[in-house]
Structure 1
Amino acid sequence: MGNDAATAHQRFREARDYLIAHREDYDTAYANFAWPEFTEFNWALDWFDRVAADPANAERYALWIVEEDGTEGRWTYPELARRSNQVANWLRARGVRRGDRLILMLGNQVELWETILAAIKLGAVIIPASTLLGPADLRDRVDRGAARHVVIRAADAEKFADVAGDYTRIAVGEPVDGAAGWLSFADAYSADGEFTPDGPTAATDPLLLYFTSGTTAQPKLVQHTQVSYPVGHLSTMYWIGLEPGDVHLNISSPGWAKHAWSNVFAPWNAEATVFLYNYTRFDANALMAQLDRCGITSFCAPPTVWRMLIQADLTALRTPPVKVVGAGEPLNPEVIEQVRKAWGVTIRDGFGQTETSVQIANTPGQEVKPGSMGRAVPGFSVVLVDPVTGERADEGEICLDLSHRPAGLMVGYADDEERTATAFEGGYYRTGDVGSIDERGYITYVGRTDDVFKASDYRISPFELESVLLEHDAVAEAAVVPSPDPIRLAVPKAYVVLAAGHEPDATTAESILAFCREHLAPYKRIRRLQFAELPKTISGKIRRVELRGKEDATGQERPEGEFREEDFPGLKG
């Protein structure tokens, strides 16, 4: 199927407009939506630049960044189109070619978005990287990622001192002192503001190479095409409910997939404004002040942020956003209820992975079933598969039916045919997550296949137990893992982070354990508890695998600081 740029733009727009038109009519959208198909597609040229050329967007802000000190910058769609053209021309003159891999390690600053657009226009492959990465991680990305170029903050240049390789070094910010070979990104703004591509971009060409966050193993290299994220995130746009003119704040760090989901593709697919508030330390009241001042209409945050927000007075926000969603890990019902009481809006959960755009979600206009992630979004055929029999089931591994392959699905794991074959085994894409489904198609998250465990021969979902723990006033965060037991083989143990004003003592422990006894079936009860900070990936996900390792290492011995049911006579039995 051949297509020129105008045809590609029109095909994409028709699919986009269909989802916006049926934003609150899930049944119609799910039944009739079809992914646009392309042989050639370049999202930056065929979509973003054409949106920027529309007179209706001449004054519309594509990007709005507010700093902690109150300074801010705003850039319209036409401004970013021109600036990214300059960066693309300058990068091409520095040797960046179609198919070259480029590590992009910047904070929430305008140069990040300029480079993303420029790289897409050039056909380069972006390797997003968090600014928190250290030299060892960067060596891995340069080596396994076969990176030819790096674009980083000048402040991070020293991290590359011992990262060997023949790659172009580009620094954003002040000149790098005492380091030969670092080019200054600022020179890009002297380049021509008109850009001519060196040829068409195949829809199947690679665009993104993500190193996963590694909650259980060495990071995998997830490869996306020119279509799978840019077009695939039409599903994410639909889940959030974004429309032209929205001002969307997504709290996510650059370098991770969710940043591309909701700080690049979904809002710009909708012709909305990407809003960022940069802070050094989270302050709920300061964040809500910005939500009010800047008229944020749409807000997305990970569970960690939502759990911190509900520790504050949510009623301080006078004009809550009308669209609120949560992603990264499932949201606990207690968090959703507290926000509903204070803001009068319901946080709508969504489920997806680095490997995909959003797959399952509570979309606008749907009934939200408490505890459920929602239903399969338009364009995705989601099924649950019994991991033992391989048959479809009411509870099992969350999978995508490849006979209806969605646009928003990765090609596979780069340079790892074995992992790719395992992920796509049996005609399904296997997420590695377990869920249950009801008669209406609502899917409830159970846990990672690696996190679900057995206690007294019963299957235990850590997420379910953690949701009950969060209902206790003293609990700010919690993670549940199996702890070895001579009688039951394993019992549920909670690692708990306390809310402000509560002491990590026996009285608090007894109160939490008693609460769980009252609200959980006997076989699910939390029988051991320890107050501790939770280990997390640098993308903010809890590393339960690390906590399980601690329990396995301890074995039957009781670790210091652990409280047990048997310590409290009133809890026996």
Structure 2
Amino acid sequence: MGYNFAREVDKIAEEYPDRLAILCVSQDGHEERIDYATLRNRTNRLASALLRLGIKKGARTLVLLPRGVDAYVVYLSLIKVGVTILPGSEMLRSGDILYRMKHSDASVVIAASNLTPAVDEVRSESPTLKYFLAVGEAVPRWTDLDGLYDLGTPAEFIVDTEDSDLCFLSYTSGTTGGPKGVMHTYDWPREHLAVAGTYWFDAKPGELAWATAGPGWAKWVWSPFVAILGNGATAFAYQGRFDAATYLSLMEKYKVGLLCATPTEYRLMAKVKGIENYQLSLRSAVSAGEPLNREVIDTFARVFGITVRDGYGQTENSLLAGTLQDMEVRPGSMGKPFPGMRVDIVSDDGEVLGVGEIGHIAVHKSFPALFKGYLSDPDRTKRAFRGEWYITGDKGRKDEDGYIWFEGRSDDIIISAGYTIGPFEVEDALVKHPKVAECAVVASPDEERGSIVKAYVILRNPEDANDPGLVAQLQDHVKQVTAPYKYPRAIVFVDSLPKTTSGKIRRIELRQLETEPTTTL
């Protein structure tokens, strides 16, 4: 019998049944609270019901749920059944969903009722799908998940899983082609807790911890799910849209002790007028997704007496480096590799470089939390390694004290407000518009988001560039075709694009044009 994260959470429930596990607040202020004993009861009921329904160990299951109690219950229940979970953002469109379904041979989809239409659009094109479970309102041709609880039992229920069984299949953008299916096994939560959950995101038992990432992202699995529940803390979830002042008010009202947010969220909170009037109870604050600027660190230190500590990791691994508690903060640095972890700067040939030399940020293949490869893509997996090292795709350098400094992406991936965006996905959406002949997408510096998506577009009819509403029209088109967070916030119409002699677009030349911050549209 191997490691099963749900079993670890159940152990906490046995010892501290009345401890609050989840506190969820809706945008209108409604609260939902669930203790560890109730969480254990619900997940046992749902897991046993899912198995009775016919969903068995190993079934690949796409989950499309927003922030809230349901996400925690569903994820834990699925882990008890031993399935493979495909975390899916509520912002995915039908094309994104179809890709994941077909690529993974998914047989189960669990979706919030308002997200089921996007699945129904491609249901007929997904022959492997057998089970459709809706959460919330009743939906025609979907099984009501809430109704399944009565079919299950509250008695202990966990299918035996092996460490090598596939637990999470998270999709992340690539520079070419569709998103990559990143494989993590059932022992990954154990390794993640041992590193990130101990040395960086140090949630304490019973502490109210707020990690703002939404379900559907690897970061949600990291912190709101594994690092909080695995440490016996209380997960705080807010179901409203981001608003800097609202976030500060919620932390003040509920006395949040630990915060994990994106640099963009921190930047906007730091700019709130009258920020010094908020009385927060923060013990610790961390950030990940992109480099954190000094202004944010200085503001939170001055106003709240808290050092916002940076961290760095990827969907393919876990947190690789960070500024730990009581470590000197060097603004702009991602911190140091964690104790015992082999993270370094290497050359194109996989040789470790010296102090100050710029190379690939890499992690040794012996790292236990490293992914097991890209699903059905051994060539892509092989290309991710240089000898003994997995290459993250980021460039960096280390100083004489071992701090790592980010120097940029070594490929064309765009990281905007913590979202990882592949240029191909945006380009593919843009060229589907009848007025677009060709396009190229790159990152453009932005003060708040770190970078924004910028598109260089060649129109079929150059005169259409005079249409003042065309930019907004193209942006709306992208939002409809793919997840809205990917849309280009800046669009430039051009007559030609730089290309190689073989006809490939040279995005590097376009990126070199982006040397000054761009005003967000």
Short-chain TM bin: 0.7 to 0.9
Deviates more, 1:428-437 or 1:389-398: 389-398
SS at match of 1:359: strand
Could you give the per-residue CA deviations for residues 12-57 of structure 1, whole angstroms, max 9, x where no partner exists? xxxxxxxxxxxxxxxxxxxxxxxxxxxx211112x11111101xx2
Could you give the per-residue CA deviations for residues 405-457 of structure 1, whole angstroms, max 9, x where no partner exists? 222211110110001111133011110111110111100111111259xxxxx
1:43 is aligned to 5
User: 1:552 and 1:364 mapped to 2: Cα distance?
Assistant: 52
1:458 is aligned to none
User: 2:491 and 2:176 mapped to 1: Cα distance?
Assistant: 11
User: 2:132 and 2:94 mapped to 1: Cα distance?
Assistant: 15
SS at match of 2:45: helix
Q: Does 1:338 align with 2:299?
A: yes
User: 2:213 and 2:369 mapped to 1: Cα distance?
Assistant: 20
Matches within 5 A, 1:15-414: 40-45=2-7, 47-54=8-15, 57-161=16-120, 162-164=122-124, 165=127, 166-176=129-139, 179-180=140-141, 182-190=142-150, 191-198=152-159, 200-214=160-174, 217-237=177-197, 238-279=199-240, 281-313=241-273, 314-387=275-348, 390-393=351-354, 394-402=357-365, 405-414=366-375
Q: Does the CA-based 8 Å contact 2:350-2:388 persist in structure 1? A: no
How many residue pairs align between the two structures?
448
How much has 1:216 moved relative to structure 2?
6.1
Q: Does the CA-based 8 Å contact 2:166-2:186 persist in structure 1? A: yes
User: 1:345 and 1:184 mapped to 2: Cα distance?
Assistant: 45
Matches within 5 A, 1:407-426: 407-426=368-387
User: 2:490 and 2:410 mapped to 1: Cα distance?
Assistant: 16
Deviates more, 1:391-400 or 1:263-272: 391-400
Q: Does the CA-based 8 Å contact 2:204-2:231 persist in structure 1? A: yes
Change (3 A) 1:389 1:60: closer
The amino acid that maps onto 2:93 is G
Deviates more, 1:243-252 or 1:85-94: 243-252
The amino acid that maps onto 2:64 is M
Change (3 A) 1:385 1:288: same
How much has 1:389 moved relative to structure 2?
7.1
Matches within 5 A, 1:519-538: none
Could you give the per-residue CA deviations for residues 468-495 of structure 1, whole angstroms, max 9, x where no partner exists? x84xxxxx445499999xxxxxxxxxxx
Q: Does the CA-based 8 Å contact 1:234-1:266 persist in structure 2? A: no
User: 2:279 and 2:397 mapped to 1: Cα distance?
Assistant: 38
Q: Does the CA-based 8 Å contact 2:5-2:189 persist in structure 1? A: no
Q: Does the CA-based 8 Å contact 2:318-2:369 persist in structure 1? A: yes
User: 2:83 and 2:494 mapped to 1: Cα distance?
Assistant: 45
Q: Does the CA-based 8 Å contact 1:435-1:447 persist in structure 2? A: yes
2:472 is aligned to none
Unmatched runs of 5 consecutive residues or more in structure 2: 414-441, 457-474, 500-509, 517-521
User: 1:359 and 1:326 mapped to 2: Cα distance?
Assistant: 13
TM-score after normalising by structure 2: 0.79
User: 2:18 and 2:206 mapped to 1: Cα distance?
Assistant: 11
**Percent identical residues:** 32
Unmatched runs of 5 consecutive residues or more in structure 1: 5-39, 453-461, 471-475, 485-532, 566-573
Change (3 A) 1:480 1:225: closer
TM-score after normalising by structure 1: 0.72
